[in-house]
A and B are shown apart, each in its own frame.
Chain A
């Protein structure tokens, strides 16, 4: 805009915008580029949860599946084999505390989160829940998500890994029907393997579909009832725990080094 010269008609109409009004401090209709990820708030909280868990070397696994896949049964059997020390569980369901009760019977602390009409857990729920069931250092936190193969896939809870459980009776094409969950998961547990002789399911095809969606996905066939594959599942958990322990150790070493080299602000060594 040029400067006003003598004799020219000087006029500034602040009310000529689409709104037709002028309010101090507010402008007319305008565009704001905000370029913000819709999940940014959830992701920020998830990062903070992850940092707190990792600092203590606590491994957290987010278990996801459709309803009725046998998540809780598998979890109970997993806890039975691991022993209750250092374990904790957060149970997500729309209603009831039945699942948390089943877990508590194993001697492991469990907190039930009811989501009401919500179809998934989000990071702010975990942020509020985990300090109440935080396992001891180097412990293990299982988060059993709401039974749903769609909604939980996009919501980071601050977990170390998502583990998707697919029971054999659900049919081999589930990974293709619900690809987002299989893309987000690090491990697929193909469960209820004891039913293999009784159901008409192409297990090889099912695994191929999962890898088609996610080439990096690891797969373990297991059955909580017969015990098949449970050792491999426990081994997978042990490896994840060890990897996390190494990361926590490295972070602690770096912190120690900083403290050793550091000088407190304003403190002169005489």
Chain B
């Protein structure tokens, strides 16, 4: 069973957009560009499902959700460089060390909106 915290994240996205619309008025959102880190613990499919559901009856209804995936990067203490990981718990792809500190790929950000 898929976890559904994506639904509450999507409700959060719609609330943030509505909040933004109060200071910078627009009537409809046509596209939402979301940056999703590979380690953000969200499932893009669940996000799309939750997004359409949360957007209903709001100025975000009908907007296209564009998901930009951001790679997971970590500093490797084994080979002293930044490396790219596929998932949490991976060893360094260069030196196989497990002494890694994640430095990016946890983000979940609304990057930009296309609005009318």
Please report A residues at the B interface, Cβ cutoff 8 Å. Answer: 18-19, 23, 25-42, 117-120, 122, 148, 150-151, 153-155, 175-176, 179-180, 183, 209, 211-213, 215
Contacts and interface: CB of A to CB of B under 8 A. Distances in A.
B52 interface: no
B16 A41 contact: yes
15 contacts: A25-B25, A27-B26, A29-B114, A30-B115, A32-B113, A36-B110, A117-B4, A122-B8, A150-B5, A151-B3, A179-B89, A180-B88, A212-B89, A213-B88, A213-B89
Contacts of A119: 3-5
A30 B113 CA distance: 8
Contacts of B13: 38
A127 B15 CA distance: 18
Interface string B1-36: 001110011001101100010001111001000100
Given A120-B5, A179-B89, A38 B27 contact: no
A38 B116 CA distance: 22
Contacts, number: 106
A18 B28 CA distance: 13
Interface of B: 3-5, 8-9, 12-13, 15-16, 20, 24-27, 30, 34, 39-41, 87-89, 91, 98-102, 107-116
B41 to A, nearest CB: 4
Contacts of A153: 41
Nearest 8 CB-CB pairings of A with B:
A151-B5, A179-B88, A150-B3, A180-B41, A38-B108, A32-B113, A213-B89, A19-B116
A176 B89 contact: yes
Nearest to A181: B41
Give the secondary structure class of A's interface: mixed
Contacts of A25: 25
B5 to A, nearest CB: 4
Nearest to B31: A31
A34 B89 contact: no
Contacts of B40: 154
Given A122-B8, A179-B88, A213-B89, A32 B16 contact: no
A26 to B, nearest CB: 6
B88 A34 contact: no
Contact of B8 (A37, A118, A211): A118
A176 B12 CA distance: 28
B116 A31 contact: no
Given A40-B16, A118-B8, A154 B41 contact: yes
A212 B89 CA distance: 6
A38 B110 contact: yes
A29 B116 contact: yes
A23 B3 contact: no
A150 B41 contact: yes
B114 A35 contact: no
Contacts of A31: 112-115
Contacts of A211: 98
Nearest to B20: A34
B5 A37 contact: no
Contacts of A41: 12, 15-16
A175 B12 CA distance: 28
Nearest to B47: A38
Contacts of A150: 3, 5, 41
Nearest to A175: B89
Contacts of A213: 88-89
Nearest to B30: A29
A265 B80 CA distance: 53
